[in-house]
Amino acid sequence: MSAVLPVPLVQVLQPLTVLVAAPGLSGAIAKAEARMQGRRGPRVLQPYYDLAKLFGKESLAPEGASRFFLLAPVIAMTCYLTVPLLIPVLTSFGLPLGYMGDIIGGGFLLSLASFCVAVAAAETGAPYAQLGASRSKTFGAITEPVVLFVVFTVALVTTTDLPYAQAATVRSSADQIIRPAHLLASAALFLVILYETARIPVETHTGTNEFGMIEEARALEHSGPYFALLKWGSACKQLILYTILIDVFLAPWGLASGTSAGPVALAVLALLGKALVLGLVVAVIDNTFAKLRLFKITEFVSAAFLLAVLAVFTLYLGGG
C-alpha cells in the first residue's frame, strides 16, 4: 500500500499539475500539428524555453497606461489557478475547497480573468490590442448563453450544478452517456472550448496576422515577465477547459478515489494522457478546417447554441 498524502497537499497538487503541465500540452499540440503538415515542428518543451526567456527580459508599459496594465496578468493567473480547486482534476470527490464554487463559479473566475486582460489591453491605446479586447468581449457575449445552457443541462440531469456530481452521474452507468442531452451538451461545450482556446475554425493559434486575431491580439503590448504570465495563463486556461470537458463530461475515469500517493500519481498521468488525446483531436481539426471569416463566427456559435438548447429541450420531455 502506498502512503496516504495529506489532503491539503493533494489540494495544492491540483493547480500545480495544471500550472506545470499546461505549456507542455501546448507544445505537444503544436508538435502534432506540425507533424501533420509535414514539418518537423518545435520541440515539445519549446513553450517552457519561451517562458524562461520571457521571464529574463525587461518589461515595458506603454505611456499613460495605469498600474492595472501590469496587475492584470497577475490577477488573470490567480483566477486560472483558482479554478482547478473547484473541478475534478485529480480526485473524484471534492476536496475541502472543492465546494466553494460550482460550475458557474468556475465560469465567473474564467470570465473575470478574461475581463482583466481585456481591460489591460484597452489601457494601452494600441489599436491591435484594443481590437482583440473588443472582439473577444463581443464574441464572449454570444458564447456565454451556450455555456449557460450547458450548465442548465447539468442542473437538470443532476439537480445540482456541481462538476463532481455530473462526473459521478456519467460514471454511474452507460445509460447516462448515451442519452442525447449528455452528448449534445458535451458537443456544445467542445465547440465553446475551440472558441475559448483560440483554435481553428475561430482563430489561427500561431498566426502572426493581426487582423485575424481575437484572443492572441490582447497581449501584444505586454512584454517580459508580464507577457510570460499571460502566455502561461492562456496555456493554463486551455488545460483547465480540457479538464472540465474530459473529467466532467467525456471520460471522468482514472481519477483518484482517495488520497493515497499511488492513485493520485496515476490520476496525474491519466489526466495528461486524456488531455493529450483531446489535444490530438484539436490538432486534427486545426489541420482539417479553414479559419472562418470574422463575421461567420456567429454561425459557428449559433451551431453550438443549437446543440446546447436541444440538450435542454430533450430533457424537458423526459427523453434526454
Partner 1 sequence: MPVPLAADSAPTTFEGATNTVAVLLLLTEFAMLRATLSRSQVRLYAVQSLLVSGLAAIVAADRELPELYALAAVSLALKVIAVPWVITRLLRDAGAEIAGSGAIGAASATLLSLALAGVGFFAVGSLDISSPYLPQAALGLSMSIVLVAFVLMIVRRDVVSQAVGFFSLENGVSLASLVVAAGMPLIIEVAFLFDLLVAVVVFGVLMRVHHHRTSSLSTASLTSLRG
| Residue of 136, 124, 109 lying closest to 69 (CA atoms) | 124
Site string for partner 1, 147-176 (x = CB under 8 A): ---------xxxx-----x---x---xxxx
Q: How far is the CB of 237 from partner 1 (least distance, A)?
A: 26
Which residues ranging from 99 to 158 are in contact with partner 1 (CB under 8 A)?
156-158
Q: Which is nearer to partner 1, 125 or 319 (CB)?
A: 319
Q: How far is the CB of 296 from partner 1 (least distance, A)?
A: 8
* Total site size for partner 1, rule CB under 8 A: 33
Q: Is the dihedral of CA 133, 231, 244, 202 positive or negative?
A: positive
Q: How far is the CB of 286 from partner 1 (least distance, A)?
A: 21
309 scored as a contact of partner 1 (CB under 8 A): yes
| Residue of 233, 199, 236 lying closest to 219 (CA atoms) | 233
299 scored as a contact of partner 1 (CB under 8 A): yes
CA dist 207 → 11, 40, 213, 252 (Å):
36, 18, 8, 33
| Residue of 240, 278, 86 lying closest to 163 (CA atoms) | 86
Q: Is the dihedral of CA 161, 164, 169, 170 positive or negative?
A: positive
Q: Which is nearer to partner 1, 164 or 232 (CB)?
A: 164
Considering only residues 183, 273, 280, 288, which one is a binding residue for partner 1 as defined by CB under 8 A? 183
319 scored as a contact of partner 1 (CB under 8 A): yes
Q: Is the dihedral of CA 247, 250, 256, 262 positive or negative?
A: negative
81-106: string of b/e by CB count within 10 Å (b at 16+)? bbbbbbbbbbbbebbeebeebbbebb
320 scored as a contact of partner 1 (CB under 8 A): yes
317 scored as a contact of partner 1 (CB under 8 A): yes
Q: How far apart are CA 206 and CA 33, in angstroms?
A: 11
Binding range to partner 1, per CB under 8 A, among 43-51, 132-140, 271-279, 298-306: 298-306
303 scored as a contact of partner 1 (CB under 8 A): yes
Q: How far is the CB of 295 from partner 1 (least distance, A)?
A: 9
208 scored as a contact of partner 1 (CB under 8 A): no
Is 28 in contact with 43 (CB distance < 8 Å)?
no
CA dist 269 → 104, 105, 253, 274, 286 (Å):
27, 27, 12, 9, 25
294 scored as a contact of partner 1 (CB under 8 A): no
Which residues ranging from 47 to 76 are in contact with partner 1 (CB under 8 A)?
none
Q: Which is nearer to partner 1, 279 or 320 (CB)?
A: 320
Considering only residues 46, 144, 179, 276, which one is a binding residue for partner 1 as defined by CB under 8 A? 179
Site string for partner 1, 249-288 (x = CB under 8 A): ----------------------------------------
| Residue of 170, 171, 162, 107 lying closest to 140 (CA atoms) | 107
For residue 114, which amino acid is it?
Answer: S
- What's CA 280's distance to the chain center, in Å? 15
Q: Which is nearer to partner 1, 81 or 154 (CB)?
A: 154
**Positions in the binding site for partner 1 (CB under 8 A):** 156-159, 165, 169, 173-176, 178-180, 183-184, 298-299, 301-303, 305-307, 309-310, 313-320
